[in-house]
Amino acid sequence: MYTEQGGEGPDLLLLLHGMGATGAVWSPMCADAGTRWKGRWLALDLPGHGGSGTQDSYAIGQHAASVARAVLPHLQPEGRLVVLGHSLGGVIGLALATGWFGLLPHRVFAAGIKIAWSDEEVRRMDSLALQPAKLFATEEEARERYLKVSGLAAVAGAPASVSARGIAHGDGGWRLAMDPRANAVGKPPLSELMTLARCPVHLARGGNDAMVTLEQTRSLDAEARDLGPHGHNVMVEAPAQVWDWMASFS
């Protein structure tokens, strides 16, 4: 599994990106980690994304198991594990909060989780998982597609670092680095995961996030935060807002 890391100390902040993206979306937050986080941080590319390998199943449990295996060697006995997940990464964080996968976080933060799923949306994702990777003639075309799929195209002035590892070149042209089969993640059992959580879990969303409303988010966490007038990728648009949200619980 492709990982990036930094910082010093026993505590570990695990950063989990959303579907279609890579761990590079955390680069704006990692740039401030030295002053905002007292410990180490670890940002990884989820299976089937970016520089990480593929796997046979992309169900939430399989994602959580793969992430746990990758993280365990980085844990220190005296340190705390804090998970910050975005969108799909947030759902994986909720799965880790159950303690079923060999580690138990001290606290989980999840931003921008899509909560309401229609049957048609689930069918469309399953259909995308069966299609071969689309090839593009140029790197620029592939990059534009990646930015759209990951929701980053809507972020004005996003640094180039956030799109790192989002595309790949192979025989026949350029493509997204994401394995199309990773779309088959299924409808996550969010209420059940919240009920089973064995550590504090905190939810939030950008105030302009078109994928989820504050009302929906508060159906799972009554104290869920609105992180201001930002979109789905709030950690790219307003990393300070996310740091402040996390700091309010420290």
**Nearest of 217, 214, 215 to residue 194 by alpha carbon:** 217
C-alpha 83/C-alpha 93 separation (Å) is 6
Note whether residue 7 is domain-resident: yes
Residue 17: CATH number of its domain? 3.40.50.1820
Residue at token pair 């009302």: 215
Note whether residue 166 is domain-resident: no
| Confidence class for position 161, pLDDT limits 50, 70, 90 | confident
The distance between the two most distant Cα atoms of the chain, rounded to a whole number of Å, is: 51
Note whether residue 149 is domain-resident: no
The parent domain of residue 96 ranges over 3-129+183-248
C-alpha 23/C-alpha 16 separation (Å) is 7
Residue with the bigger pLDDT between 94 and 150: it is 94
The pLDDT tens digits of the residues spanning 40-60 come to 999 999 999 999 999 999 999
Q: Are 151 and 86 in contact (CB under 8 A)?
A: no
- Numbers of helices and strands, H then E, in the chain: 10, 9
The pLDDT tens digits of the residues spanning 55-101 come to 999 999 999 999 999 999 999 999 999 999 999 999 999 999 999 99
Q: How many residues does the chain have?
A: 250
Note whether residue 110 is domain-resident: yes
* Beta bridge pairs of residue 69: none
Q: In this prediction, what percent of the chain has a pLDDT beyond 70?
A: 100
Note whether residue 8 is domain-resident: yes
Please give the single-letter amino acid code of residue 59. A
Note whether residue 172 is domain-resident: no
Residue at token pair 């995308």: 128
Note whether residue 170 is domain-resident: no
Taking residues 198-227, report their average pLDDT: 97
pTM: 0.96
C-alpha 159/C-alpha 151 separation (Å) is 14
For the chain, state the CA radius of gyration. 17
Packing angle between helix 60-71 and helix 88-96, nearest 10 degrees? 70
DSSP-assigned letter for residue 132: P
Number of domains in the chain: 1
Note whether residue 214 is domain-resident: yes
C-alpha 88/C-alpha 18 separation (Å) is 5
DSSP-assigned letter for residue 232: S
| Confidence class for position 162, pLDDT limits 50, 70, 90 | confident
